[in-house]
Amino acid sequence: MSQSNWQELEKKVFLQTIKRVSVTLVRGKGAEAWDDQGREYLDFVSGWATNSLGHCHPVVVKALEEQAKTLIHTSSQFYTVPQLELAQLLVEHSCLDRVFFCNSGAEANEGAVKLARRYGKLRLNGAYEVITTYNSFHGRTLAMTAATGQTKFQEPYTPLPVGFINVEYNNIEAIKRATSEKTCAVLLEPIQAEGGVNIPDDDYLRKVQSWCREKSILLILDEVQTGAGRTGTLFAYEQYGVEPDIMALAKGIGSGVPIGAFLAKEEYSLFSPGEHGSTYGGNPLVCAAAHAALKYMIDHNLPAQAKRIGNYFMTQLESLKQQFDFITDVRGRGLLIALEFSQEIGDKLQLACLDRGLLVNRLKPNAVRFMPPLIITEKEVDKAVGILRDALKEKA
Ligand SMILES: *Cc1c(COP(=O)(O)O)cnc(C)c1O
């Protein structure tokens, strides 16, 4: 089928929930991907920060192949080895003690909020409200739409589930004002990713943590995008001197396979058998791949590499900022980076990069985001910056 035929088919058979870029990707290797016309792209979108080890990394492929020949799925009624190995790895390398596996970031946050509500019922006189922030992104289920403080995602679906209060990000006073005897938790991204790569003040999370402790409410960190090495440490909370009581993960921990997880400290591990569940959660095939990916990431210290290459990339972007006066901001941590403009050129720039073989993500009308795989090299960053410079010239 030709490229245009695939795209016509999509128009016909798909619910139209997303404006796609007119490329049909058919193959990937490392930081590169190819479309059905044989065109090559440098992939700085990485499946929205999921393909941490790049496309089809040999350790992920091998784990999938071996597990697919051995045992693909059972229900969670039985013990299976890959999910236990993955859980152990996550517990050993985080400040949390227990894990629940699901299939996506939204589900991970849902589970985290359900656990916080158990805590509220059992220990806080039935408190159930969760404070979240404007410009956050926590997923697309109805409850996570209520948690996500962006009216564009909420308005089409009102009335929304109750129990979520959205307040300003990076503002401890706003959290204090919203806290009441009904509050059971605060849910935050350490860095707001989809909402604009918004980096809070260095002491914000510490202040939130101490407020939560003072009020005996839980701090839930949504590390769905910032986790798995993306921001230069295995989890972003490590950089802010805090420890979440509950943490949600997904995206990068699977390096391309669909998995979500939430982890809790021992003292808040309050579920009893039957109170939460997932049919595919902890699926052996997916867990084997995620375990291989995460182990490789840890063994090869990819978070530190993400930090180093991320700093290199940011320096290059800063020099582009000197060259083009309509670049108003370069911001990021590790390999989660945004470039912001004084004009609404996000869409056009995304296309201009695409035409030159670079995949980037239009983040906002006036911003683009880069989330290359953690295995990206300086040479590949140089190539991307070269393409970006040409694309920016076209816009200048
Ligand atoms: C992407 C994302 C989600 C939602 O993850 P899905 O797998 O799409 O459900 C939740 N939180 C954050 C911070 C995200 O970046």
In percent, how much of the chain has pLDDT > 70? 99
Instruction: State the distance from the centre of ligand 1 to the C-alpha of 322, rounded, in angstroms.
Output: 33
Q: Same domain for 156 and 236?
A: yes
pLDDT at position 396 over 80: no
Tell me the pLDDT tens digit for each residue of 145-178: 999 999 999 999 999 999 999 999 999 999 999 9
> What is the CB-side half-sphere exposure of residue 395 using CA atoms within 13 A?
25
Among the three residues 272, 299, 326, which one is the final residue of a domain in this structure?
299
- Does the pLDDT of residue 254 top 90, yes or no? yes
CATH number at residue 366: 3.90.1150.10
Q: How many structural domains does the chain have?
A: 2
Residue 138 CB less than 6 A away from ligand 1: yes
**Residue 226 alpha carbon, nearest atom of ligand 1:** 13
Ligand 1 centroid to Cα of residue 250, in Å, is 7
Question: How much is the average pLDDT of 66-87?
Answer: 97
Calculate how far, in angstroms, residue 7's C-alpha sits from the geometric centre of ligand 1.
Answer: 26
Interval between CA 177 and ligand 1 midpoint (Å): 27
Closest protein CA for atom 15 of ligand 1:
225
Q: Do 235 and 263 belong to one domain?
A: yes
Measured in Å, residue 198 CA sits from the centre of ligand 1 at 15
Q: Can 383 be counted among the known catalytic residues?
A: no
Structure confidence at residue 2 (pLDDT): 66
- Give pLDDT tens digits for 340-377: 999 999 999 999 999 999 999 999 999 999 999 999 99
Domain residues for the domain of 288 are 58-299
Same domain (yes/no): 165, 242: yes
Ligand 1 pocket residue status of 44, Cβ below 6 Å? no
SS3 letters for the chain? Answer: CCHHHHHHHHHHHCCCCCCCCCCCEEEEEECEEEECCCCEEEECCHHHHCCCCCECCHHHHHHHHHHHHHCCCCCCCCCCHHHHHHHHHHHHCCCCCEEEEECCHHHHHHHHHHHHHHHHHHHCCCCCEEEEEECCCCCCCHHHHHHCECHHHHHHHCCCCCCEEEECCCCHHHHHHHCCCCEEEEEECCCECCCCCECCCCCHHHHHHHHHHHHCCEEEEECCCCCCCCCCCCCHHHHHCCCCCEEEECHHHHCCCCCEEEEECHHHCCCCCCCCCCCCCCCHHHHHHHHHHHHHHHHCCHHHHHHHHHHHHHHHHHHHHHHCCCEEEEEEECCEEEEEECCCCHHHHHHHHHHCCEECEEEECCEEEECCCCCCCHHHHHHHHHHHHHHHHHHC
Which member of 44, 101, 137, 153 is catalytic? 137
78 & 176 share domain: yes
Atom of ligand 1 nearest to the CA of 225: 15
Same-domain status, 51 and 150: no
**Whether residues 102 and 130 fall in one domain:** yes
Number of the ligand 1 atom closest to the C-alpha atom of 251 = 7
Query: Are 324 and 358 within one domain?
Result: yes
Q: Are residues 27 and 50 in the same domain?
A: yes
Instruction: State yes or no: is 97 an active-site residue.
Output: no
Q: Is the beta carbon of 137 within 6 A of some atom in ligand 1?
A: yes
pLDDT, mean of residues 91-103: 98
Whether 135 and 205 share a structural domain: yes
Q: End of a domain among 266, 281, 299?
A: 299
Q: What is the pLDDT of residue 293?
A: 98
**CATH classification of the domain holding 268:** 3.40.640.10
Q: What pLDDT sits at residue 395? A: 72
Report cis status (omega within 30 of 0) of the bond before 244.
no
Q: Decide if 222 is catalytic.
A: yes
Average pLDDT, the chain: 97
Residue with the nearest Cα to atom 6 of ligand 1? 105
Question: 187 with 280, same domain?
Answer: yes
Overall average pLDDT of the 285-308 stretch: 98
Model-wide pTM > 0.75: yes
Q: Which of 282, 299, 316 is the last residue of a domain?
A: 299
Please choose from 103, 135, 225, 280 the residue to mutate so as to test ligand 1's pocket, defined by most ligand atoms within 8 A of CB: 225
Q: Is the pLDDT confidence value at 4 over 90?
A: no
295 and 311 part of one domain: no
pLDDT in tens, 133-148: 999 999 999 999 999 9
Tell whether 268 and 312 lie within a shared domain. Answer: no
105 C-beta closer than 6 A to ligand 1: yes
Q: State if residue 47 touches ligand 1 by the CB under 6 angstroms criterion.
A: no
pLDDT of 199: 98
